[in-house]
Amino acid sequence: MTVRINGADHDRPPRPGQCLRTYLREEGCFGVKKGCDSGDCGACTVHVDGRPVHSCVYPAFRAQGRQVTTIEGLAPPDGLHPVQQRFLDAQGFQCGFCTAGMIMTTAALDEAELADLPRALKGNLCRCTGYRAIADAVHGVRTVAEPGDGPAVGAGLGAPAGPQVVTGAARYTFDVDVPGLLHLKVLRSPHAHARITAVDTAAALAVPGVTAVLTHRDAPPRYFSTARHEHADEDPADTRVLDDVVRHAGQRVAAVVAETEAAAEEGCRRLRVTYEVLPAVLDPEAAMRPGAPAVHGDKITGHRIARAADNVVGELHAELGDVAAGFAGADVVYEATFRTPRVQHAALETHGAIGWLDEAGRLTLRSSTQTPFLTRRALAELFDLPPDRVRVLTGRVGGGFGGKQEMLVEDLVALAVRRTGRPVKLEYTREEQFTSATTRHPFTVTMKAGARRDGTLTALTLRVVSDTGAYGNHGPAVMYHSCHESIAVYRCANKKVDAYAVYTNTVPSGAFRGYGLGQVSFAVESVLDELARRLDLDPVLLRERNIVRPGEPLAAPGDHADDLTIGSYGLDQCLDAVRTAAARPAGPDEAAPAGWLTGEGMALAMIAAGPPGGHFADAAVTLLPDGRYEIAVGTTEFGNGSTTVHAQLAADTLGTTPDRIVVRQSDTDLVGHDTGAFASTGVVVAGRAVLHAARALRERLLELAGPGATGLDPDGVIRPHGRLGLAELAASSPEPVRAEGRWAGSPRSVAFNVQWFRVAVDPGTGELRILRSVHSADAGTVLNPLQTRGQIEGGVAQALGAALAEHIDIDAAGRVTTAAFRQYHLPTFADVPHTEVVLARTADAIGPLGAKSMSESPFNPVAPALANALRDATGVRFTELPFTRDRIWQRLRAG
Amino acid sequence: MDLHTVVEVVSPATVGQWRPGDAWLGGGTGLFAEPQTGVTRLLDLAAAGWTPVTAHEHGLEIAATCTVAELAGYAGAPRFTAFHELATACCRAFLASAKIWNVATVGGNLCAALPAGPMIALTAALDGECLLLAPAGERRLGVVDLVTGDGRTALAPGELLRSITLPAAALTGRTAFRQGSLFTHGRSAVLLIGRRAGAGLVLTVTAATVRPFQLRFAGVPAAAELAAALRDTVPGDAYVDDVHGLPAWRRHLTARYAEEIRAELAR
């Protein structure tokens, strides 16, 4: 019996335990995505005999004799299905990994379901958009701008990859058919801390199809950090590809490489590992006490660890002014301790890479990464290769959120490729995302602040303990960053910080959207709210009395990079916007149910547009023979939308339209260097490099057209004696007409965000309902309003997940117990309220065409704004995230 | 997900074929959602062709392989008003979407025996009786006795669930339904169903507890009587302690919803 896929019979029988998703992908339907692999996220949705199913939990054998329709077969041969067109018209996607499933689901909804999307879409998760754009798409609301009329910059144009995303043709990391591919699976530690004393590989090697087993004996001796930074010395060198000590449950013990995933898994099960179990420490405060097990006690010097014997990987102790005097002069002082849990990025595309040796024997990796160039550099160092013997590239990346600013798989894949000489794939399971990737750093922040009667801050102190887990990747950098913009945004003469990034025997923390600021802002903004209450001041007014103003220094204790300035200032406008929103009376759909408590709260955040110490981007723009242009840029596209903006920037500079711009990106073969798509740099660094390259090419084209050339239009160079066609110009040049641009990421400006909520709380059940949500942002000149709004909505939604739902739990043995989307609740359509977005009008002196970044920052003020609204409604200060219904009820009962 | 240790599928399968390493396969949405490294053979029941729902004089017979979608769409016995009122509510109590309803089976939900299983709630509340088949013969067991704990059932190795019969007497009284979750449309942390049985009241507590508990009253009890009966029937340690809700909160909501149901059905 055959499986009929998109009208064609497929004779190859499925394997007995195979799910339909894998079978379809093996038959070439790469639009069918592997997201959760457990029937929860919907990225794999297909139709079987016309009915939508989650193909990851549909037995493939059962599809025999049935008709299967995938995203590739939804549309008629020469066009788009109406739902695909609507997702384009509303840009109902960012990374696009969930989009095929969203479209297949939407296409099967009946009228009743369309009228109740919160229920109808409960089986489809989107981590990027916050669902507003998806709702618009489902309802046929067109928000995207028509290309062509007027300047591209400032228009809400769609993403260039949109047509591929909605048809399932976009190629993500694993959407390639590699002949001869081997599969790598990892045996992971069951212990939080243990020494591996023996690994018996014989039974594993005897499994048919197993080609290699890799243990710490096969790994390079070198220590590195999985964190990717322009300057490697920002992170401790504490990690080996495979180590003889495991420091958290879930750490790599050994890898099995085999002809099939099944054989690799069986090989892992047959490895016999002998462990000497070592004492473990799971709590950062306990880890700093004398006598605690030292997680990296073997690395006292030479590894860039501040105090390895005390488990302190990095610390900051500094004071500005005199806080004791400041508190003495305060009319009111408030102090409290705040906690934020481990949170996972939950990008729908898991970590993973496919590696091979190209025709020239060069090590090549196609990886789900935000940092192809820095990963190439790390691999070259690790394996003693010249950089030009390593190539790293990406496909379209299915979400990042900071989680892919790490090298979590490429080193092991490279080791396996070099051992076997064959292509090797390692694709994380969803469980491994939770147990063996990275998380947002859990923080404990004790903050004390004093103010005078008029609200003026007199002193503030922070004691910050961040849990970096078993490895120090991003630990010190996140800690430093967390204590900067969060308090530098306030003028206060006396500030003191004591901060520690601490090792524990738990899953490592890493880079996460906001990079520490959100955790500390949760404390800072909650404490300021309490001060305002105690002084009977409007919390917005208290902020206005203390916020930094244009031209003033951005001061925080400690040695922070001095290249950060206020390139444009819209914080006042942002505060005005929420004051206006708060003054507007509640609409009929914003009423609280009888008996519920209501309240309002706000919080603000500032973020640097780019990291300290430089962030580099090379770009090139080339005139193509047909008169179009090609941008080459190193930065990665994972739904951040930088590609759209790069095309807009180049189009206006070159007098053409974005549809005549081709963007090639995210490949170490394309340009000299790119630090990576992180730290809010896609527009302000890579975009600026593209702008410089486009301007240089414009000059070059005018020069080539001869004296008197005045400008460019889509067809050619305008000259007094007639236009010189671009194709003609390209043909007349002996070599490609090309120009390069570069930006080094310094100086840097700052962006601002303010969030405001009105909430209702049912004291009888703990249910919290958001009645109105307003977010104002200063992104400088807005290059693409549709995308900016999308980034803000997505950031607010992800932050609402962290504020209301998400927490990774670790048991007494150090094992992660929330390792699937059933246990780790991501915001669904039903969980995310509409957020009204207000954009300040400023023009930045530093960013390209006046733009600033707006990618990480919308996340940061959300949790404290919600905490402040909860406080207003209930009278109780909530100091620990997340605010789930059971915890709210419990706190209210406790009083 | 792919079940890589599975080397054979028997489809359709019948009672007597089971041996260690086998797993009965309903829709597959449960089995394929988690690693099953001990399973080497799938015994497919969905292909057996059992009639999903059959209306009899004496009640409704639901095949174990009846999908949630088939149950939700069943309209063949309008006289069984209690069933129709509750079936829609219980199907909607699934965390899973309607796409899963197209495949997941009623029997699979019962045999998975998760506290939040809404088909357990439905069939327990309606006094469902399971028909269990084993090589040695068949037996009948109440739904409330089939599920013995979080993920645990009274099924013997190799025994399969053939059907659930809901007696007609349980299908006509007034009903009331309450569900609580940490999230809107989220996984049930508390699911209570009340049913008038003649002059009496039957209250079924699920989701909050590791197994279903049933309270039966000859008449409609007073609020204090109900609260006391709840305390007596459901021990404190029976409230589920997991990531889907704190036990104290589940207990509180159970009491709150029980009283709401009592008041609603007393009218």
Of A19, A105, A809, the CB nearest to B1: A19
Residues in chain A closer than 8 A to B98 (CB atoms): 52, 113, 120, 123
Mean pLDDT of the region A851-867: 97
- Residue range A736-760: mean pLDDT, rounded: 97
Q: Which residues pair with A823 in a beta bridge?
A: none
The pLDDT of residue A341 is above 90: yes
The full set of domains in chain B, from first to last, is 8-47 (no CATH), 48-170 (3.30.465.10), 175-266 (3.30.390.50)
Q: What mean pLDDT value characterizes chain A?
A: 97
Q: How confident is the model at residue A847 (pLDDT cuts 50, 70, 90)?
A: very high
Distance CA A516, CA A483 (A): 8
Contact (CB<8Å) A889/B249: yes
A822 chain-B contacts, CB cut-off 8 A: 33, 95, 187
For residue A892, the chain B residue with the least C-alpha distance is B249
A25 vs A162: CA distance, rounded Å = 21
CA-wise closest residue to B191 among B248, B101, B147, B125: B125
Distance from CA of A394 to the nearest CA of B (A): 25
The pLDDT value given to residue A589: 86
What does the pLDDT average to over A370-381? 98
Report the pLDDT averaged over residues A868-889: 98
- Evaluate if residue A895 carries a pLDDT over 90: no
In angstroms, the separation between the Cα of residue A428 and the nearest Cα of chain B is 13
Tell me which residues of chain A, numbers 807 to 866, contact chain B at a CB-CB cutoff of 8 Å. 809, 817-818, 820, 822-825, 828, 830-831
Task: Give the A:B interface size as CB pairs under 8 Å.
Answer: 155
What tokens appear for A136 in the block? Answer: 């618009």
- Say yes or no for a CB contact (<8 Å) between A38 and B2: no
- Cβ–Cβ gap A17/B46 under 8 Å: no
Contact A759, A771 (CB under 8 A): yes
Which chain A residue is nearest to residue B69, measuring alpha carbons?
A: A51
Q: Looking at residue A82, what is its pLDDT?
A: 98
Measured distance CA(B96)–CA(B117) in Å, rounded: 11
What is the per-residue pLDDT across B105-140, written as a single tens digit (0 to 9) for each? 999 999 999 999 999 999 999 999 999 999 999 999
pTM assigned to the model: 0.98
| Exposed / middle / buried, residue A683 (Cβ in 10 Å: 0-12, 13-18, 19+) | buried
Scanning every residue of chain A, which has its alpha carbon at the shortest distance from the alpha carbon of B102? A53
Q: What are phi and psi of A351, to 5 degrees?
A: -65, 155
| CB contact at 8 A, A660 and A628 | yes
Tell me the chain B residues in contact with residue A886 when contact means C-beta distances shorter than 8 Å: 182, 189, 245-246, 248-250
Rounded Cα distance between A813 and A509, Å, is: 18
pLDDT band at A560 (very low <50, low <70, confident <90, very high): confident
Contact A421, A440 (CB under 8 A): no
Type of residue at A817:
T
Q: How confident is the model at residue A722 (pLDDT cuts 50, 70, 90)?
A: confident
* Nearest one of A829, A834, A798, A678 to A127, comparing CA atoms: A798
Question: Is residue A586 very low, low, confident or very high in pLDDT (cuts 50, 70, 90)?
Answer: confident
Average pLDDT for B67-95: 96
Residues in A 248-277 with any Cβ partner in B closer than 8 A = 260-262, 265-266, 269
- Mention every residue, 6+ apart, whose C-beta is less than 8 A from residue A78: none
Residue B70, helix vs strand vs coil:
helix
Q: Which residues of B touch A62 (CB under 8 A)?
A: 28, 44, 46-47
**Longest pairwise C-alpha distance within chain A:** 84
Q: Do B46 and A123 touch (CB under 8 A)?
A: no
Task: Give the one of B7, B28, B92 whose C-beta lies nearest to A57's C-beta.
Answer: B28
Best residue of B11, B70, B99, B185 to probe chain A, by most A CBs closer than 10 Å: B99
Whether the CB-CB separation of A443 and A499 falls below 8 Å is answered with: no
Average pLDDT rounded to a whole number, residues A653-658: 95
Residues for chain A: how many in total? 895
**Which member of A59, A765, A823 has the closest CB to residue B28?**
A59
Residue B67 contacts residue B105 (beta carbons within 8 Å): yes
- Among residues A254, A250, A271, the alpha carbon closest in space to that of A193 is found at A250
Q: Do B100 and A265 touch (CB under 8 A)?
A: no
Closest residue on chain B to A48 (Cα): B102
> A118 to chain B: which residues are within 8 Å by CB?
184-185
What was the ipTM of the complex prediction? 0.98
pLDDT at A578: 95
Q: Does the pLDDT value for residue A830 go beyond 80? A: yes
Q: Which of B98, B184, B243 sits opposite A823 (nearest CB)?
A: B243
Flag whether residue A764 sits within 8 Å of chain B, measured between CB atoms: yes
pLDDT digits (tens, 9 = 90+) for B198-248: 999 999 999 999 999 999 999 999 999 999 999 999 999 999 999 999 999
Dihedral (CA of A833, A838, A843, A848) sign: positive
User: What is the token pair recorded at A832?
Assistant: 């995310």
Q: Do the Cβ atoms of A819 and A888 come closer than 8 Å? A: no
Of the partner residues A39, A261, A266, the one whose CB lies closest to the CB of residue B33 = A39
Look at residue A148 and tell me whether its pLDDT is greater than 80: no
pLDDT at A78: 86
- Which of A15, A32, A54, A266 to mutate against chain B (most B CBs within 10 Å)? A54
Question: What structural domains and CATH numbers belong to chain A?
Answer: 3-167 (1.10.150.120), 182-278+348-399+404-435 (3.90.1170.50), 439-611+748-894 (3.30.365.10), 617-743 (3.30.365.10)
Please indicate whether, in this complex, the C-beta atoms of A262 and B2 are within 8 angstroms of each other.
yes
Is residue A622 scored above 90 in pLDDT? yes
Contact A282, A810 (CB under 8 A): yes
